[in-house]
């Protein structure tokens, strides 16, 4: 799908007089929008004496030529010849001639037939509008390759997704770094056992606290032996 800018570049600079290739819907309708915007500006500038009139004439001629060429390419995208663009105008013109001839000959039937023919020609413009809105034929046709496939072929390839930024100090794309081991402990080893209290073997069960000694009973006072003392 062409963007607004790409459609203008294609129709104005690359293919202004090209009536051989194909034009997708995006190219046609984006360019029609551009012509509509420029037409409003040209009509405003036409109010300026002389210079505005020159600008309007140049715009009218350029828009007519570019509209015809891009319309032919749009019909080619539908695998139809560009002469179908002229068919409604021919029918309307023929109807007008018949209606005028009927008026001159004072023939109501002939005038009514001309009006009917002109009305059929107007329906041809509606049919062209519908054709411009329909998608083109898939793949190549007798007017060239599919422009959508051509645009997809030359479109820039998408970039590979970016890898997430590695943490500071870690190489990009490498395995995540192990957390830093505590001071004095080997990297990746088992965590060190806490230091045993002084006097207790490493890894042994904790020593039971020393049971306090039972208080000694005071010795009974000795009775004085008077008889023995007297002897």
* pLDDT tens track for 69-93: 999 999 999 999 999 999 999 999 9
Q: Are 59 and 128 in the same domain? A: no
What domain range is 100 assigned to? 82-134
Domain boundary among 151, 179, 204: 151
**Which is more confidently placed, 27 or 182?**
27
* Token pair recorded at residue 24: 């997708």
Q: Are 35 and 58 in the same domain? A: yes
For 40, 51, 62, 67, 148, the CA distances from 55, given in Å and listed in that order, are: 12, 6, 11, 18, 35
| Burial of 67 from C-beta contacts in 10 A (0-12 / 13-18 / 19+) | middle
197 within domain boundaries: no
Average pLDDT for residues 194-222, to the nearest whole number?
61
Quickly state the pLDDT bin for 226 (edges 50, 70, 90): low
How many domains in the chain? Answer: 2
DSSP character for 20?
Answer: S
Q: Are 48 and 88 in the same domain? A: no
Q: Are 100 and 67 in the same domain? A: no
pTM for the whole thing? Answer: 0.64
161 within domain boundaries: no
199 within domain boundaries: no
182 within domain boundaries: no
185 within domain boundaries: no
169 within domain boundaries: no
Average pLDDT for residues 188-196, to the nearest whole number?
62
Going by C-alpha positions, the residue among 84, 85, 76, 78 that lies closest to residue 143 is 76
Per residue in 38-77, pLDDT (tens digit) is: 999 999 999 998 999 999 999 999 999 999 999 999 999 9
* Cα gap 95→14, rounded to integer Å: 38
* Cα gap 160→51, rounded to integer Å: 54
Q: Are 144 and 66 in the same domain? A: yes
Whether the Cβ atoms of residue 10 and residue 2 lie closer than 8 Å to each other? yes
* Cα gap 34→150, rounded to integer Å: 24
Per residue in 157-188, pLDDT (tens digit) is: 544 445 556 666 666 665 556 666 666 666 66
């Amino acid at each position: 799908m062409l963007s607004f800018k790409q459609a203008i570049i294609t129709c104005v600079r690359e293919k202004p007089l090209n009536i051989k290739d194909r034009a997708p819907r995006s190219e046609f309708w984006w360019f029609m929008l551009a012509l509509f915007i420029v037409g409003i500006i040209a009509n405003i500038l036409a109010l300026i004496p002389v210079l505005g009139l020159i600008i309007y004439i140049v715009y009218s001629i350029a828009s007519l030529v570019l509209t015809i060429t891009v319309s032919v390419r749009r019909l080619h995208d539908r695998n139809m010849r560009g002469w179908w663009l002229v068919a409604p105008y021919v029918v309307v013109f023929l109807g007008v001639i018949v209606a005028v001839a009927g008026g001159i000959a004072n023939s109501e039937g002939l005038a009514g037939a001309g009006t009917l023919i002109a009305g059929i020609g107007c329906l041809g413009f509606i049919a062209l509008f519908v054709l411009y809105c329909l998608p083109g034929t898939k793949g190549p046709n007798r007017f060239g390759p599919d422009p959508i496939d051509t645009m997809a072929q030359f479109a820039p390839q998408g970039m590979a997704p970016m890898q997430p930024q590695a943490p500071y100090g870690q190489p990009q794309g490498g395995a995540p770094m192990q957390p830093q081991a505590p001071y004095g402990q080997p990297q990746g080893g088992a965590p060190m056992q806490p230091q045993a209290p002084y006097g207790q073997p490493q890894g042994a069960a904790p020593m039971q606290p020393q049971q306090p000694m039972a208080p000694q009973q005071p010795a009974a006072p000795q009775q004085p032996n008077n008889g023995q003392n007297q002897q």
